[in-house]
């Protein structure tokens, strides 16, 4: 877990955007928020998933957000993709893929990218710095 101010320092020039679910006051009832919190607790001590596998053994950042909304509130924030949907042609990406997967790159692995969540039409900006 990373404190917000520490996370902001990792970015460029202290820039950040905070978004919230549209109509959150109607959708995120106390019961729903409790369910979402329980889902989050389920993943709390999981190791970070460098391989971006769609399993619950380990978890990566955008997967955590997606699963909390989906399992806790029945909402899909962002469109799921497959690894093959990404542009993997750059030499740096190819090298990293080789390091992580060897010759067995799971091109059909289900993934959720931070940009798909960030650009979801279900979210609205509440603060921008």
Residue 126: what are its φ and ψ, rounded to 5°?
A: -115, -20
The answer to whether the CB of 86 falls within 8 A of the CB of 116 is no
Strand-pair partners of 128: 17
Specify the pTM: 0.86
Q: For the chain, what are the domain ranges?
A: 27-128
The answer to whether the CB of 80 falls within 8 A of the CB of 115 is no
Q: What is the pLDDT of residues 20-64, one digit of tens each?
A: 999 999 999 999 999 999 999 999 999 999 889 999 999 999 999
For domain 27-128, the question of CATH label 3.90.1720.10 is answered with: yes
| Residues near 114 by beta carbon (within 8 Å), at least 6 away in sequence | 61, 62
């Amino acid at each position: 877990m990373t404190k917000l101010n520490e996370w902001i320092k990792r970015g460029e020039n202290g820039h950040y955007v905070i978004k919230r679910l549209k109509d959150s006051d109607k959708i995120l009832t106390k019961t729903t928020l409790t369910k979402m919190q329980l889902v989050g607790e389920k993943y709390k001590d999981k190791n970070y998933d460098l391989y971006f596998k769609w399993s619950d053994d380990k978890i990566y950042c955008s997967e955590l957000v997606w699963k909390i909304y989906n399992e806790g509130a029945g909402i899909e924030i962002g469109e799921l993709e497959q690894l093959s949907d990404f542009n993997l042609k750059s030499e740096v990406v190819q090298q990293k893929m080789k390091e992580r997967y060897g010759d067995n790159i799971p091109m059909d692995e289900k993934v959720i990218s931070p940009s798909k969540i960030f650009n979801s039409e279900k979210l609205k900006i509440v603060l921008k710095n």
